[in-house]
């Protein structure tokens, strides 16, 4: 059964309920493969350090740790994905991460993988089917556009987005996207878990479907 986690951003550590869920789902701990969202910074030790600390503090350790960025050759990156126990798409620059996923042809391999796939912030956004690149969703662009993500699940994600203070602006911006798919919007310390056909919620997560917005009940 395929399992996907869409995270917001965590100010400190994973909440206890999330730790319990991750321990249940991550049974194979041979190889953690992280995909950078700042792939040009391949000598920066800070990339992935925060996300890895969340796992360390949750006592989820792996035999091997790998980071895919432009310092790794395409063929090696593909092999790492194929052998991964867990794939973790890191936070950072959503557009740059989208670029390396396309250039290194990783999306189909991730979709076929039996690994648990997780993403935080930019990583969660790129896991989704499509996402909105707009000044209202935090990007320095004048013209809004819709990007294709990996498409692990048929919805879009707005990760650690302050929906409460931006409802009117974002509804107009999302109108084209909402004709096709639903959008899950979360702020910090949140998670959406998709396991098989079941969707679980942790924290303050909103479902935007057509023109309706509803706060979802926690189920994790």
The whole-angstrom separation of Cα 209 and Cα 53 is 34
CA dihedral (41, 80, 49, 193) positive or negative: positive
Q: What's the pLDDT score for residue 132?
A: 86
The pLDDT value recorded for residue 159 is: 78
Query: What mean pLDDT, rounded, does the chain reach?
Result: 91
> Of 91, 103, 100, 22, which is closest to residue 56 (Cα–Cα)?
22
Cα 220 to Cα 216: distance, rounded to the nearest angstrom: 12
pLDDT per residue as tens digits for the range 45-76: 788 899 999 999 999 999 999 999 999 999 99
Say which residues have a Cβ less than 8 Å from residue 46's Cβ, sequence separation at least 6: none
Cα–Cα nearest to 148, from 98, 104, 114: 98
Average pLDDT on 191-210 reads 93
Hey, how many other C-beta atoms are within 10 angstroms of the C-beta on 48?
Answer: 22
Give the list of residues 6+ apart from residue 132 with CB closer than 8 angstroms, or none: 144, 145, 146, 147, 156, 158, 173, 174, 177
Q: Evaluate whether 210 touches 216 at the Cβ level (below 8 Å).
A: no
What pLDDT was estimated at residue 160? Answer: 62
pLDDT at position 120 is 95
What confidence score (pLDDT) does residue 167 get? 66
| Residue pair 92/124 in contact by the 8 Å Cβ criterion | no
Residue 166 has pLDDT above 80, yes or no: no
Determine what percent of the chain is predicted with pLDDT higher than 70.
Answer: 94
What pTM value is reported for the model? 0.94
Q: Which of 40-44, 170-174, 196-200 has the lowest mean pLDDT?
A: 170-174
Q: What is the pLDDT of residues 117-140, one digit of tens each?
A: 999 999 999 999 999 887 767 777
What confidence score (pLDDT) does residue 165 get? 65
CA atoms within 13 A on the CB side of 10: 24
Mean pLDDT of 101-115: 97
Per-residue model confidence (pLDDT) at position 161: 60
Where does the pLDDT of residue 14 fall: very low under 50, low under 70, confident under 90, or very high at 90 and above?
A: very high
In the chain, the N- to C-terminal Cα span, in Å, equals: 18
| C-beta of residue 81 within 8 angstroms of C-beta of residue 87 | yes
Asked if pLDDT for residue 11 goes beyond 90, the answer is no
pLDDT of residue 22: 98
Longest dimension (CA), the chain: 47
């Amino acid at each position: 059964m395929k399992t996907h986690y869409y995270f917001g951003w965590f100010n400190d550590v994973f909440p206890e309920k999330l730790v319990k869920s991750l321990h249940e789902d991550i049974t194979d701990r041979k190889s953690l493969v992280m995909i950078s969202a700042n792939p040009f910074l391949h000598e920066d030790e800070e990339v992935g350090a925060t996300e890895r600390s969340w796992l360390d503090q949750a006592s989820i350790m792996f035999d091997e740790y790998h980071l895919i960025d432009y310092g790794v050759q395409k063929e090696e990156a593909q092999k790492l994905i194929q052998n991964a126990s867990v794939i973790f798409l890191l936070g950072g620059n959503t557009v740059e991460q989208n670029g390396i996923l396309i250039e290194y042809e990783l999306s189909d391999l991730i979709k076929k993988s039996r690994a648990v796939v997780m993403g935080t912030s930019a990583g969660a956004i790129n896991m989704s089917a499509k996402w909105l690149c707009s000044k209202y969703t935090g990007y320095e662009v004048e013209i809004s556009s819709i990007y294709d993500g990996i498409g692990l699940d048929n919805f879009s994600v707005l990760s650690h987005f302050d929906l409460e203070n931006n409802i009117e602006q974002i509804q107009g911006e999302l109108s084209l996207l909402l004709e096709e798919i639903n959008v899950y919007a979360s702020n910090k310390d949140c998670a959406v878990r998709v396991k098989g056909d079941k969707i679980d919620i942790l924290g303050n997560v909103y479902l935007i479907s057509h023109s309706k917005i509803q706060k979802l009940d926690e189920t994790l």
